[in-house]
Amino acid sequence: MSTETRPIYTHTGHPLVDVGASVIAAFNRRRNVEEVTEQDLVEIVQYITQHYFREPLRGFLTTVFPNSAYANPTMGEERKRDIVADVLSTSPLPAAEGPERCPFCGQAAKRRFRQHVPLVTGEGAVNFTPGGQAGLPVCARCLVAIQACVLGTLKCQGRLLLAHSDDPELTLRIVAGFLAKNQRILSIPSSGKYPESKYPGTILMEALMNAQTGQEAIRSRPSLTAYHLTNYGTSANVDVYHLPSEVLAFVSAAQASSPVRDGWQYAVRQGWRLGLPPAKGKPADEPTEYKVGEHRNQLYEDLFGLTKDLASLGRFIRRHLSWRIPDALARAPDGPPGPDAWPLTEVFLRMVLLMEKARVEVLRTLGERFAGYVVEQNDKRFFDRLWRESGRYHLLRSHLLRASHAQVKRGEAPLISFDEFLLAFEDGEEVARADWSLARDLLLIRMMDELHARGWLQEHAAELADAPDEATESED
């Protein structure tokens, strides 16, 4: 491609540059970063010059660009002008200027330091760089993008929160949403602090759901990485959160149609309640409206922190998909009964856990069969044992064997076949699967849906024991 036709920006895979380029595109109403023009750069530089040197943004910029011309109150006006002319220059460096290349785009570059590129070394430090050269070589256009990226992020708990996807369209849409919020804030003259948001997982999930369109996540399979960073003095820090493509696809599929959508919406509503701070000795006054940035949605936070280890998955399933349990009923005694949990659970198992289809089906079948058995035999004890007394593998197995044996004595088929038992709970004969307790929880979710549909759960809700304490669970 010739120099004349080369776009100013393309997707680089580097978060600060891509988010910044997306800001410039969104600010100038471009459909993608490749459409950004020279004039668009001039426009964003004007906007930056207008807002970065004054409150409410200037104070926050000390955490992003400390000691920069924007944030250093002791710097003289003339020096500021010189630095701005250098840092916000929209003209590419001539190739002859130096042998160094920008690692983001390959264009001619000049050394830049921590005050203009967050989290690289300051001037003079020779660590982490080839040849002991401080800082990072960055080209003029990528540097402008890095300066602009602040406008496509949110201030969250004193840090910069930015979302970056390998799908440039998704990045652009999330950035456009954040940019619109920031433009609204900056359009009101203020000498106060920049508004603060809380709970990064909640903010990002909301932004993601607003930005994702229909089947996109299922079709193009993007993933997303969030960076929560501060570049402030000795407190500099960055937290990185990965959201794999299967989680994005799950979130998209969960909102697609009933009955899965009903379960998702109910789980989201419960998530807001779970996110309330614990009240001291009395129930907290629930707000009439939950606000992103002010309140925590525990479902969103847990989805963002889902590391896919067994403990994390077990906690997620107990917290967000087991809403038919007695203590969940007690949490919302006057609310309408929740929808069935299994449709959403099944999508979660297939898309996020990548559980084998045959195993999902056997868990569903067993849940339905056990519920039928409990209702027909009115065997509350069997339900209680499964629910309350199966924290150890040998206990679960003996409860199932005992109930099966009782069925056979009645002349019925056993409650669970050998093959079903193996597929649901064992890796081989006598060897429990590492996730046997997860399988038991899933079976109970399906069972409770069925018991609720048959009215048995409501009838016996008052007698049902509390949920077992997670801490007492043990992997035999």
Partner 1 sequence: MRVLRVEFEAATASFRYPHFMVGRHPTFPMPPPATLYGLVCAAVGDYVPPETLRLGFRFTYEAEACDLEHLHIITPKGARAKFDCRGQKLPLTTEGTVTPTTRDFLFNARLTLYINRLDLADAFRRPYYAMSLGRSQDLATIGRIDEVELHATDCAYVEHTLLPAEERLWLGSGIVLTLPRFVDPRQAREPRFDHYLMLRERIYAHQGLMDELRNQLGDQLVRTIPAGRELWADPDTQAFHGAHRAVWLQELV
In the complex, the residues that contact partner 1 under the rule CB under 8 A are: 12-14, 99-101, 103, 114, 117, 119-122, 124-128, 130-132, 136, 166, 220-223, 225, 230-231, 234-240, 242-246, 249, 308, 350-351, 354, 356-358, 360
Judged by CB, which is closer to partner 1: 442, or 457? Answer: 442
Judged by CB, which is closer to partner 1: 90, or 220? Answer: 220
Judged by CB, which is closer to partner 1: 137, or 275? Answer: 137
Beta bridge partners of 426: 432
391 and 432 Cβ atoms separated by less than 8 Å:
no
- Minimum distance from CB of 61 to partner 1 (Å)? 17
What amino acid occupies position 13? G
Give every CB contact of residue 328 below 8 A, 6+ residues apart in sequence: 270, 322, 338
Q: What is the dihedral of CA 53, 55, 61, 62, to 10 degrees?
A: 100
- Minimum distance from CB of 99 to partner 1 (Å)? 8
- Minimum distance from CB of 167 to partner 1 (Å)? 9
Judged by CB, which is closer to partner 1: 101, or 315? Answer: 101
- Minimum distance from CB of 121 to partner 1 (Å)? 5
207 and 241 Cβ atoms separated by less than 8 Å:
no
Q: Which residues of 409-426 are buried (b: 16+ CB within 10 A; e: fewer)?
A: eeeeebbbeeebbebbbb
Judged by CB, which is closer to partner 1: 74, or 307? Answer: 307
Q: Residue 372 burial by CB count (10 A; 0-12/13-18/19+): exposed, middle or buried?
A: middle
From its phi and psi, is residue 211 left (phi > 0), alpha (psi between -120 and 50) or beta?
alpha
**Alpha-carbon gap, residue 239 to 453, rounded angstroms:** 44
Residue 72 sits at φ, ψ, to 5 deg, of -95, 105
Judged by CB, which is closer to partner 1: 220, or 255? Answer: 220
Q: How far is CA 387 from the centre of its chain?
A: 31
- Minimum distance from CB of 395 to partner 1 (Å)? 29
What amino acid occupies position 271? G
- Minimum distance from CB of 423 to partner 1 (Å)? 10
48 and 76 Cβ atoms separated by less than 8 Å:
no
280 and 361 Cβ atoms separated by less than 8 Å:
no
Helical spans, DSSP H, in 193-259: 200-211, 216-220, 245-254
Structure tokens at 337: 């009964």
- Minimum distance from CB of 456 to partner 1 (Å)? 31
Judged by CB, which is closer to partner 1: 286, or 361? Answer: 361
- Minimum distance from CB of 66 to partner 1 (Å)? 11
Judged by CB, which is closer to partner 1: 125, or 467? Answer: 125
299 and 268 Cβ atoms separated by less than 8 Å:
yes
- Minimum distance from CB of 126 to partner 1 (Å)? 5
Q: Which residues of 152-179 are buried (b: 16+ CB within 10 A; e: fewer)?
A: bbbbbeebbbbbbbbbbbbbbbbbbbbb
Judged by CB, which is closer to partner 1: 246, or 473? Answer: 246
